[in-house]
């Protein structure tokens, strides 16, 4: 009970702190960066849930992010649906796609699932580039209107900041509730041993499919919001570089907690902004592929030197510190 109250207090502090960020920082620079942090964190939380908790090595997460962005973007840009309805429609479309793809693919395990979803990543990226008349081809989808709810139009980083962080924390809250429920325990159980899980009556394929579709839908919602925020979408935004960035976030975040990816995406964005600001003179072309060099080195270093990730390492350091001070039991 006591730890529960402390947990709620922590949530209140985190939410209050995040809500104050746009007011205490000067200009819109930090707010804009934090918007990206929120989108990436939402995406990475789902991916970390899939990789670490459910043990499903699916690499198709950027694909669902992209499909969400493109579906909502096309529906809004062609005036077929208002933007807010586009987000829901995109979530439905992605849920169906994830269900249809997931049902046969999730029977694969380990490397084979990874290979199949890696293939999917490229298939969707190439196809989006080739479907010129519908998606705008390699140049990207233009003319996406900003997000509006019932006559209120979101404008600038300030508005999107709250919507994006609302989505991010909402997803985190949703995921933590799911993982503490019967479904969550089933997900963890099938990760530890599929045979044991199916012996106690868990429908393992259905369980995998549920968590796959669930994370795909959150990825799609983040994607739809992302395309309204940028008012632009291009196939190359949802390809291999994004996957490397997500890996970085997931690896920094570690396997221990659900909120690790949020810290991971804050770290990733800080590094990216630091690179862009400080190395602009040294490196002439700052593309996502150049960033990927730094992230790749980071992934290798973390997997070799601190495999528990940031949260796990901080936890261990705190533990060692407490023991050093003689306060630990």
The residue from 10, 139, 149, 289 that contacts other proteins (CB under 8 A) is 289
The residue from 33, 95, 116, 204 that contacts other proteins (CB under 8 A) is 116
The reply to whether 110 sits near other proteins by the rule CB under 8 A is yes
Per-position x/- string for 242-281, each x denoting binding to other proteins as judged by CB under 8 A, each - no binding: -xx--x---x------------------------------
DSSP string, 224-245: HHHHHHHT-B-GGGGSHHHHHH
Q: List phi, psi (to 5°) of 30.
A: -65, -40
What is the total count of residues that contact other proteins (CB under 8 A)?
43
The reply to whether 300 sits near other proteins by the rule CB under 8 A is yes
The reply to whether 226 sits near other proteins by the rule CB under 8 A is no
Q: From the CB of residue 308, how many other CB atoms can be counted at a distance below 10 Å? A: 15
Q: How far is CA 100 from the centre of its chain?
A: 21
**CA-CA-CA-CA torsion sign (234, 239, 243, 244):** negative
Our CB check for other proteins shows the closer of 316 and 322 to be 316
Our CB check for other proteins shows the closer of 50 and 76 to be 50
CB of 177 to other proteins, least distance (A): 26
CB of 217 to other proteins, least distance (A): 22
* Strands 148-149 and 152-153, bridge-based pairing: antiparallel
Which residues pair with residue 233 across a beta bridge? 141
Give me the torsion for CA of 65, 238, 162, 12, rounded to 10°.
70
What are 129's two structure tokens?
């580039």
The reply to whether 120 sits near other proteins by the rule CB under 8 A is yes
Per-position x/- string for 87-106, each x denoting binding to other proteins as judged by CB under 8 A, each - no binding: -----------------xx-
What are 274's two structure tokens?
């630091």
Per-position x/- string for 188-217, each x denoting binding to other proteins as judged by CB under 8 A, each - no binding: ------------------------------
The residue from 14, 81, 95, 114 that contacts other proteins (CB under 8 A) is 114
CA distance linking residue 276 with residue 294, whole number of Å: 12
Q: Which residues contact 19 (CB under 8 A, 6 or more apart)?
A: 162
The reply to whether 286 sits near other proteins by the rule CB under 8 A is no
CA distance linking residue 112 with residue 131, whole number of Å: 28
Element (H, E) at 309: helix 309-325
Q: Which residues bind other proteins (CB under 8 A)?
A: 51, 57, 104-105, 107-108, 110-112, 114-116, 118-120, 122-123, 126-127, 129-130, 240-241, 243-244, 247, 251, 283, 285, 287, 289-293, 295-297, 299-300, 303-304, 307
């Amino acid at each position: 009970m006591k730890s529960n109250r402390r947990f709620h207090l922590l949530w209140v502090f985190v939410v209050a702190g995040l809500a104050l960020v746009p007011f205490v920082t000067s200009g819109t620079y930090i707010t804009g960066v934090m918007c990206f942090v929120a989108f990436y964190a939402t995406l990475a939380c789902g991916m970390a849930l899939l990789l670490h908790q459910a043990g499903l090595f699916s690499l198709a997460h950027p694909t669902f992010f992209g499909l969400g962005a493109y579906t909502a973007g096309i529906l809004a840009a062609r005036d077929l649906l208002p933007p807010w309805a586009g987000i829901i429609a995109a979530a439905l479309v992605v849920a169906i796609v994830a269900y249809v793809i997931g049902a046969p693919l999730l029977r694969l395990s380990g490397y084979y699932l990874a290979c199949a979803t890696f293939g999917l990543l490229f298939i969707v990226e190439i196809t989006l580039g080739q479907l010129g008349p519908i998606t705008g081809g390699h140049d990207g989808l233009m003319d996406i209107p900003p997000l509006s709810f019932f006559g209120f139009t979101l404008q600038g980083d300030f508005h999107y900041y709250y919507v994006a962080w609302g989505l991010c924390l909402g997803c985190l809250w949703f995921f933590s509730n799911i993982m503490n429920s019967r479904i969550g325990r089933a997900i963890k159980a099938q990760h530890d041993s599929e045979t044991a899980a199916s012996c106690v009556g868990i429908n393992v394929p259905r369980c995998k499919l549920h968590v796959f579709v669930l994370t795909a839908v959150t990825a799609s919602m983040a994607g739809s919001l992302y395309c309204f925020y940028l008012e632009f979408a291009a196939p190359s935004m949802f390809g291999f570089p994004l996957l490397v960035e997500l890996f970085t976030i997931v690896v920094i975040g570690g396997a221990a907690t659900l909120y690790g990816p949020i810290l991971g995406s804050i770290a990733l964005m800080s590094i990216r902004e630091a690179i862009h600001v400080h190395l602009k003179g040294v490196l002439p072309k700052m593309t996502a592929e150049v960033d990927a060099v730094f992230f790749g080195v980071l992934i290798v270093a973390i997997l070799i030197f601190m495999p528990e990730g940031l949260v796990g390492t901080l936890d261990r350091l705190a533990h060692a510190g407490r023991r050093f001070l003689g306060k630990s039991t």
